[in-house]
Structure 1
Amino acid sequence: MKFAAMLPHLDERQRRLYLASEASALGHGGIAAVARLAEVSESTIVRGRDELAGGASVLGPVRRPGGGRRPAAERDPGLVPALEALIEPREVGDPVSPPRWTTASLRDLARELTATGHPISAPAVGKLLHSMGFSLQGMAKTRAGSQLPDRDTQFRHINTTVERLLDQGLPVVSVDTKQKEPIGDFARPGRTYRPKGLSITAPDHDFVDPGVPFAIPYGIYDLGQDTGWVNVGTDRNTAAFAVESIRRWWNQQGRQDYPDATRLLITARGWPVESVRPMKARTSLSALRMCSPLMRVFSPPRSY
């Protein structure tokens, strides 16, 4: 009963020393009795007795260097080439560069390797891939788009112009379209305080029909006042909608904040339909001068 309670909690070396101490306490015939009760060989107990007699340290490695089960790649020299052959058709990246990855799962690789005569488990495949330079990685959005040779010069020009107009007390706004939302009985993010058990319900699936209208928020951020203004429309996200949003901001808010303004600087990531109808966006933008006959409107060229 003592051995059954203690031995499962000890490693090989600790079991060997413990059994040797019990055999020594029993005296003559103790080695045979302990070996029979613990179901180990007598040579194991004799080895433990010799280690105790030699003053074995309490802590230390369980096995001698080189002991234990050999790695799978050493036991099966053809395992790594077989794994390379499975990875190659599904590998992504430059084969001659260190960063490489595969779309196959560990279980799929282990199953295919076992079927080809190389039995291995999924965790062992993971360790082998790690030793080959593979690791679990997510997708990283790092690839930049096409770069213009004078992009840095353009942004420096925008920054200088913005600072100059702000120093003069003139309006500078940054405009952009925000996330569109379908109008109707759809699930929405966020939480509200309600009586317990009376939560707002929505269909388990959001199916947006072609005729469902969308709410399009168009945001205008005033850099000088550090304030935001949003115009929500249900029409298409067109250049006319963008210009009308700016016009409404000026008539309802901008004119009050800048009563003596003669110029307005607009910075935008890109007009909604400029890639398709660039002239329509510029024609609509020029109509902003109708907000104030003395107002001069600046906007970044399309390359910005």
Structure 2
Amino acid sequence: MDNDKQYTWWIKAISGADEVQARRFAAAIALEMGRGGVSRVVELTGMSHLTIDKGIKELKKTEKLEIPGRLRSAGGGRKRIENKDPSVIADLEKIMDENTAGDNMSLLRWSNKSTYRIADELKLIGHKIDPDTVGRILKENDYSLQSNIKNKEGGSSEDRDAQFRYINEKGKEFMNNGNPVISVDAKKKELIGEFKNPGRTWNKTGEATEVNVYDFPNLGVGKAAPYGIYDTGRNEGMVNVGKSHETSEFAVESIRQWWFLMGKERYPDAKGLMICADGGGSNGSRNRGWKIHLRELVNQIGIPITVCYYPPGTSKWNKIEHRMFSFISMNWRGKPLVNFETVIKLIATTKTRNGITVAARVDDKEYATGIKHSDKEMEKLRIEPHLLHPKWNYTILPQND
């Protein structure tokens, strides 16, 4: 396996583990790397040498490792620093590159500073804190652990950071001017019918829902293709559930439906619309159909549309993934999606602690695939590439023809 790709998966696995699992996994990686492994893992994860050394000692025990019933004994462990020193949270947020923590206008939350560097800066202003604690606080505040390694398609971490900053700056600019900023993406297709849906749900004993033994598509009524639009400023969204193919026309139609059902009413004086999207698929940066159909939408609604893409390999930064789609998945886990009405109901009843509201509709239109768009069609576009990464950032302007 390519080392950069391998490290990326390692970091992702560690960031989602509890402290014991993360310590042992990091230790295993360090041992596998051999000489200099501990230092390299410290650099990649931000963990301390002591933490990784402790994990190595645990792994080298001859007896089988026990699965911890709880991470600490009841009442054990030191009191959290934020309980003893409440100002540390505010000071930490000021140190981050994007000091918009807790602000709805912050479309992304990330830092290119190591936890060691952040801890050192906090110590300089009087806080007693270690890198591990910095990492924990960042994780609890929706920052994600990222490694500074090369991305073959997306370039260096500097390229990614510059694009992340640009998306944030543009998003704040749009919202400050009363213009909508939406995150869009297509959720994976779902089989509709009496099929088992992963997960479990509460039922009376002996009353579990019976489903088909095999997930053969011909046993169902079709596939649902959910395309979501999340309004980052209002914490609400809409899902257009297609019955056909996930094409660029379907993606733009989903945005059109959101605009006329929700966006236009909420932003009556909008002078522009900003779309944040993953760089591939039906709304991809290289998809000609996406731009052609966006032009039609721009001409219809009469305002420019700005598109900003997340760098390749970073689609999970898209707010719609963790603010909307993840909760929809949790809401219907273990529940067979027996028909399209069930899908719509489960999406529309999705609730979160932050009070998100989600609307849903069925799109019965048949979308054709394999449509080619010529250079001549592309030349008709009034498209303004931005100075920074013009393939990732552009604005489509209305036309008079």
When normalised by structure 2's length, the TM-score is 0.38
- TM-score (normalised: structure 1): 0.49
Higher CA-based Rg? 1
